[in-house]
Chain A
Amino acid sequence: MKLSFIPEDMDWVCEPCGLALQPGMAELFYLGNVFRVELPMCPGCGAVLIGEELATGKMLQVEQLLEDK
């Protein structure tokens, strides 16, 4: 199953590169675990945007779950 967290509003530009963000596959690491996730990403430098909802929602949940494993 492909994990995707692409926000409705993708009108974001990478500041250093000046390029519009596009969906891209990023790897998230925590405590020796890795998740391949689709996130808004700069096609130039690969910088990834993590929004508030994701950080304080799903991501926090997974972090806590892994911490208790």
Chain B
Amino acid sequence: MPLINPGLGIIFWMTLTFAIVLFILGKYAWPAILKGLKEREESIQEALDAAKKTQEDMKLLKLDNEKLLKEAKEERNTILREARKAKENIIAEAKEKASSETSKIVESAKERIEIEKQAALIDIKNTIATFSIEIAEKVLKEELKDPKNQKEYVNRLLKETNLN
């Protein structure tokens, strides 16, 4: 029967030891452990909440981004369209300018040609006049070589003058 006969000594030591265990663990171990667990659980919960919030924020951000992208695309298209228009304008203008310039140049060239032509004509007239005088001189010199002819000519000239 010793199995079911509780010994006083064991009761005494067990009470003492168990009380010490309860005291030490209750004071130094469990508060720290339970606090640590609670804090970690809270921090995990917070992290989860934060992650959820971040996800939502990301979703909003994505929507924003998409909107921005769409706007940017539209703007790009507008700019491109405008640029194309501007390019066409510039080309047209340039063409116009070029053609007007060309016509101007042609005009001035024509004027110059005209002026040169006139100058050349005057030159030619002068040269012909000189040639005519020289030829006339030579002819006169040839005809007036003999004095009879000179006399005749002078008479004729005098006659003509008298008539006047």
Q: Bound pair: A and B?
A: no
Q: Which residues of B contact A (CB under 8 A)?
A: none
